[in-house]
Structure 1
Amino acid sequence: MDIQLPEGLRPATARDWKQLGDITAEAFAEDPVNLWIFGNAQTMPPVFGELARSIYLPRGLCHLHGDTGATMWAHSAQSRELSILQTMRLVWSLMTKGEKGAAKRGLGAGEAMAREHPAAPHMYLFTIGTRKAARGQGLGKKLIRPVLEAADRTSLPCYLENSNPANTGFYISHGFERMKLFEPGPGGPPLEAMWREPRQPLGSE
């Protein structure tokens, strides 16, 4: 994909996994689904960092805006399975830092998301988020647009699971539409599966 990054946005590298985890965790600290899974916000930095290190940096696309914003993407054809060692590291974080049952809820949510994932080829937006101090400055738009525009140029749809109803309007404003609501596990807050058909790039016929 020909991704054209604006000034201030850069591709993340392998050494950025912890920063990706920290920014994402702060962005999701009050997220209903993630709080239900983990039980607290302290579990989020190591978990999101491990997912960045194991999946989205080596197999996907990650972007950083200084230390204020981050995204993690992957093409649907790319495996997002964890190795045994990676799974053990993730479960260890959940068991030692999360509330009782966090590991079971986390693994169950991953299975639910995999079951509901569309089969058609697409770009998958796993996470997008900013530090609290950077909110309300248009950074979310700056973070999401490069991959959406690249997907449009290649006629590729995009997909995400929205875990916070407060963000629905943001995603709708960028062309996403609700597919369905589904539970990440028994009694969990709903995830909103959202799909975006590619748009015709400006200036094209």
Structure 2
Amino acid sequence: MQIDLPEGIRTATRADWRQLGDITAEAFFDDPVNRWMFGTPRAIRSVFTTLARDVYLKRGMCFLAGDGGATMWCRSESIRAIPPLAMLGLAAGVARWGSKGAVGRTLKAGDVMDANHPHEPHMYLFTIGTRTAARGKGIGKALLRPVLEACDRDRLPAYLENSNPDNTGFYISQGFERMKLFHVGDGAPPLEAMWRKPKAL
């Protein structure tokens, strides 16, 4: 897949795993599902830095907008199973920094998300977010559009799980459609599955 990046957006390298994790964690500190699942900002940071380093920088594609925004993507066929070492690192971080029961909630959530994941080949948007100080400046759209345009060229759908209702309008404005709500555990806030069909060029 050829991604044409605008000025100010660059492809992240494996050396960028901490920055990817830090930006994403800050963006998700007030996210309802992540707060329910992990319980603490430190656990959220541990999860996103681990997944950036051990999964998305190896199997997917990640992009940075300076130090203000970040996104992590993967082809659907590349993310069906998290590597065992990555899973161990993820669980260790959640056990150390998360609130009581966080490891169990995390494992359960992963199973539920997998069960609800579409089988049709697609690009999976794992995360997109900006630092607090960078919000409202169009960075999210600038990060999202290049991959969506590539999806359109390649006739490939895109999929995401929206964990914050405040973001629904943004995703709809970028062509995503609402599929269904589901819960990753008892008492969890809802996740919303969203799907984007490729647009005609």
Query: Which TM-score band applies after superposition, normalised by the shorter structure?
Result: over 0.9
Q: 2:168 is matched with which residue?
A: 168
Unaligned runs of 5+ in 2: none
Q: Does 1:122 align with 2:122?
A: yes
Q: Does 1:95 align with 2:95?
A: yes
Q: 1:144 is matched with which residue?
A: 144
Percent of aligned pairs with the same residue? Answer: 61
Query: How many residues end up aligned between the 2 structures?
Result: 201
User: Separation in 2 of the partners of 1:86 and 1:58?
Assistant: 11
User: Separation in 2 of the partners of 1:123 and 1:82?
Assistant: 16
Which residue identity is paired with 1:119?
H
Question: What displacement does 1:81 show?
Answer: 2.1
User: Separation in 2 of the partners of 1:57 and 1:2?
Assistant: 17
Q: 2:178 is matched with which residue?
A: 178
Give the 3-state SS of the residue equivalent to 2:36 in structure 1: helix
Alignment of 1:5-20 (within 5 A): 5-20=5-20
Question: What displacement does 1:74 show?
Answer: 0.3
Unaligned runs of 5+ in 1: none
Give the 3-state SS of the residue equivalent to 1:77 in structure 2: helix
Runs in 1 of length 4+ with deviation above 4 angstroms? none
Taking structure 1 as reference, are residues 50 and 80 closer, same or farther at Cα in structure 2, changes over 3 Å only?
A: farther
Give the 3-state SS of the residue equivalent to 1:198 in structure 2: coil
Cα deviations across residues 59-109 of structure 1 (Å, max 9, x unaligned)?
001000111100000011113423332222111110110000011111111
User: Separation in 2 of the partners of 1:83 and 1:139?
Assistant: 31
Instruction: Using structure 1 for the length normalisation, give the TM-score.
Output: 0.96
Q: CA RMSD in A?
A: 0.9
Cα deviations across residues 165-204 of structure 1 (Å, max 9, x unaligned)?
0000000000001110000111100000000000012xxx
Cα deviations across residues 127-161 of structure 1 (Å, max 9, x unaligned)?
00000000001111101000000000011000000
Q: Going by fraction, where is helix more abundant, 1 or 2?
A: 2
